[in-house]
Amino acid sequence: MADALRARITSGELRPGQRMPTQARLADEFGVERGAVRQALRILQSEHLLTNVSKGAPATVAPDLGKALTGPGAPPASTMVALAPRIASAFAAPHVEIDALCLTAVSLTLAIGEPLRQIHAGRLKPAKVDFRVLLPSRDIPLAFPTPVDDSADDVDVQLRRRWLAQRNAQGQVLRHNLLALRSTHGIDVQVTFRALPFTPPVKLYLLNGTEALFAYYTLSRREVEIGQQHLEMYDAPGIQSTLFAFEQDAGLRDMTFVEQSHVWFNALWETISSELVLTS
């Protein structure tokens, strides 16, 4: 229940300052006792997503969700939930610097929609935006996605084509949407992609030199339809990966993780990565 209500809050279905449904209504909706409802609401209150949780009046969605979702006490959440508000917070800086290492850039492209909306609404006004993105090269055998049974003809080739089309499409959309800020808002934007010679087992986002967001790509078995053929494959949907946040001012451990993540990313960027062209 807490997960479902959290998703409604972070998606905007329940807005900041809005009153929640009554505990009786939530109990009926989820088919549970009121004690379970109160427990779920207290979880969300501990995450600073709700206020005024009691046995009486309905709770209220926190008025400052940005702080709740990006502050040092924010709990780990899926990339789909956690990345957009943190990217939006990074865009509040005059000079936005974002480095990303990922498999396809799907999560990053989705997350960038939130700060773009805020820029167009006049709530964010960065002067300069620099993006560097590391993605797997098209010239390497991928560790995943990979077929469960590769004995069938061209199965691996079909999955590879599917991944490459997704990588290229997401990268092109990301670049186009960011570069459009030059003409629409006069923002100095630079977007650069480079290719990795390996399949990354983790995803990493570095925000303005002060924050590192880290997640594992966890493989699972699933079915995908390509053309009219159903294929079993091992894959790791990145938007579902749990994102862990480390902030430079949150203590020595976090500060060291942020600093070493930058060292690692820069080393890959400057040594074994190569030019990446977003075409098939």
Band the pLDDT of 144: cuts 50, 70, 90.
Answer: very high
Q: Hey, how many other C-beta atoms are within 10 angstroms of the C-beta on 181?
A: 18
Q: Is residue 146 a contact partner of residue 219, using CB atoms and an 8 Å limit?
A: no
H/E stretch holding 93 reads none
Q: 73 by DSSP, 3-state: which?
A: coil
Q: What tens digit of pLDDT does each residue of 186-241 get? A: 999 999 999 999 999 999 999 999 999 999 999 999 988 887 788 889 999 888 89
Count how many Cα atoms sit within 13 Å of the Cα of residue 225 in the half-sphere of its side chain.
Answer: 2
Q: What tens digit of pLDDT does each residue of 62-100 get? A: 887 665 555 555 667 778 778 888 999 999 999 999 999
Tokens of 50: 């709700």
Band the pLDDT of 14: cuts 50, 70, 90.
Answer: confident
**Predicted TM-score of the model (pTM):** 0.76
